[in-house]
Amino acid sequence: MDKRAPGRNAELGLSTRAIHHGYDPADEHGALTPPIFMTSTYAFESAEAGSELFRGERAGYIYGRTKNPTQALLEARLASLEGGEGALALASGMGAISATMWTLLNAGDSVVIDRILYGNTFAFFTKGLSRFGVNVRLADFTDLDALAHELSAAGQVKIVYFETPANPNLRVIDIARVSSLAKAAGALTIVDNTFATPVLQNPLKLGADLVVHSATKYLGGHGDLLGGAVVGSSALVERIRGTGLRALTGATLSPLNAFLILRGLKTLEVRMERHSRSALEIAGQLERHPRVSHVAYPGLKSFPQYELAQRQMRQPGGLIAFELEGGVEAGMDFMNGLELIVRAVSLGDAETLVQHPASMTHATYSAEERKRHGISDNLFRLSVGLENVEDLTADIAQALDGLRD
Ligand SMILES: Cc1ncc(COP(=O)(O)O)c(C=O)c1O
């Protein structure tokens, strides 16, 4: 195995690549763990060499906003895990999404986005980009006929954008079919793969052009950093580095956070297996409980897109959305009754977290928008962590049983 030659490692397993890809200890004094390069700038061999670097006539590092060796290793590993030619690491998921859009879009362009997105992604498109002359259109991507209609009605569409499973209600979108509709319309497909991670699905292999991530979540995996990434063809990724990152956002990932995400990636596969196994058990517990009126989890047979999820995802993941008899009030009482599970937004951490999308992560949708787009105000979201599942089910049982009649 050549640890530095990306192409040769493609046939190795995902965890093996997450642990070894792109790094040989022999290059760094035998250090088992890749070093953190805490530097903002780089010395040029000569004045001429500096000018050559700027002109792109010489390979090497210039300045830390766009390139750093710790980031570069993280980028090589993310590209390998997602099956992309290249990757770009950024300061947060929103940094990744905004740098991508600022690079690829101009005033007058049209984008079609799914109607269920993380609250600030929704706000970025509908309340942000639209202020700069981008025509933002919404469609229900689970209805392929409606999407095809929207793609033809919108004129030339540049980008088709969605999450699957979607935040917060876990709707699953058919990546292969949406990508082929987008391709036929001459648009790029961009998928937010934060909820699934490359362990559960690889959108690029199903026809998407770019994948974006909030690395804050499962990739980092320990609730101790913010990070983001874009993965896809080298040509697109390098355009985003040169324009969206370098000149338009400056959303650079710190070398320390790149190091921490590299550490997180080593256990990504084992963590995703545990998150999925525990979430399946908890989803079943919720479904059977008389106080629970609705459970959305891609691994449950009752999930409306169970077949699609089985086909598209290797495991159902760690997120569950649910509603209780008694609506928001009962849900808030349930949250307050939990003793072990933590009341917090974010997801993908070792700790199990619970939150109320309508008043928290999705408060950027107005009440009218939530209603129109199908985000119930009664919905609660659980990010199942890595604790022993019997302790989680016991905490959920006591909080449900303690609800007032
Ligand atoms: C699906 C999804 N995409 C993007 C983001 C934004 O990521 P970040 O918080 O790292 O900016 C989030 C954050 O919750 C998310 O859930």
pLDDT tens digit string along 255-290?
999 999 999 999 999 999 999 999 999 999 999 999
Average pLDDT of the chain?
Answer: 96
pLDDT at 5 over 70: no
The alpha carbon of 92 and the centre of ligand 1 are apart by a number of angstroms equal to: 8
Mean of the pLDDT values across residues 359-383? 96
CA distances from residue 43 to 11, 49, 61, 72, 182 in whole angstroms, order as listed: 37, 10, 9, 18, 45
What pLDDT sits at residue 154?
77
Dihedral of alpha carbons 321, 323, 328, 333, sign: negative
Residue among 58, 65, 177, 314 flagged as catalytic: 65
What predicted TM-score, i.e. pTM, was given to this entire model? Answer: 0.97
What is the spatial distance between Cα 205 and Cα 313, in angstroms, rounded to a whole number? Answer: 12
Specify whether 8 is catalytic.
no
163 lines ligand 1 (CB under 6 A): yes
How big is the CA angle at 19 (ends 3 and 40), to the nearest 5 degrees? Answer: 80
Which phi and psi angles does 225 have, rounded to 5°? -160, 165
110 lines ligand 1 (CB under 6 A): no
From atom 7 of ligand 1, which residue's Cα is the shortest distance away? 93
Q: What share of the chain is helix, strand, coil (3-state, %, to 5)?
A: 45, 15, 40
From atom 16 of ligand 1, which residue's Cα is the shortest distance away? 118
161, 216, 254, 364, best to mutate for ligand 1 pocket (most atoms within 8 Å of CB): 216
Specify whether 263 is catalytic.
no
How big is the CA angle at 256 (ends 251 and 261), to the nearest 5 degrees? Answer: 85
Ligand 1 atom nearest the C-alpha of 345 is: 14
pLDDT at 7 over 60: no
What pLDDT sits at residue 8?
53
Mean of the pLDDT values across residues 182-191? 98
Residue among 115, 217, 241, 381 flagged as catalytic: 217
What pLDDT sits at residue 339?
98
pLDDT at 122 over 90: yes
Q: How confident is the model at residue 134 (pLDDT cuts 50, 70, 90)?
A: very high
114 lines ligand 1 (CB under 6 A): no
What pLDDT sits at residue 253?
98
Ligand 1 atom nearest the C-alpha of 163 is: 1
Q: How confident is the model at residue 335 (pLDDT cuts 50, 70, 90)?
A: very high
Residue reference for tokens 């009752």: 302
94 lines ligand 1 (CB under 6 A): yes
Which amino acid belongs to residue 405?
Answer: D
The alpha carbon of 100 and the centre of ligand 1 are apart by a number of angstroms equal to: 14
The alpha carbon of 93 and the centre of ligand 1 are apart by a number of angstroms equal to: 5
349 lines ligand 1 (CB under 6 A): no
Q: E strand or H helix at 325, and its extent?
A: none
218 lines ligand 1 (CB under 6 A): no
Mean of the pLDDT values across residues 65-81? 98
What count of other Cβ atoms lies within 10 Å of the Cβ of residue 308?
Answer: 18
Tell me if 230 sits within 8 A of 71, measured CB to CB. no
What pLDDT sits at residue 153?
86
Specify whether 67 is catalytic.
no
Q: How confident is the model at residue 11 (pLDDT cuts 50, 70, 90)?
A: confident
264 lines ligand 1 (CB under 6 A): no
pLDDT at 360 over 60: yes
What pLDDT sits at residue 405?
81
Specify whether 314 is catalytic.
no
The alpha carbon of 94 and the centre of ligand 1 are apart by a number of angstroms equal to: 6
From atom 8 of ligand 1, which residue's Cα is the shortest distance away? 93
216 lines ligand 1 (CB under 6 A): yes
Q: Which residues contact 48 (CB under 8 A, 6 or more apart)?
A: none
Which phi and psi angles does 24 have, rounded to 5°? -125, 120
Mean of the pLDDT values across residues 319-325? 98
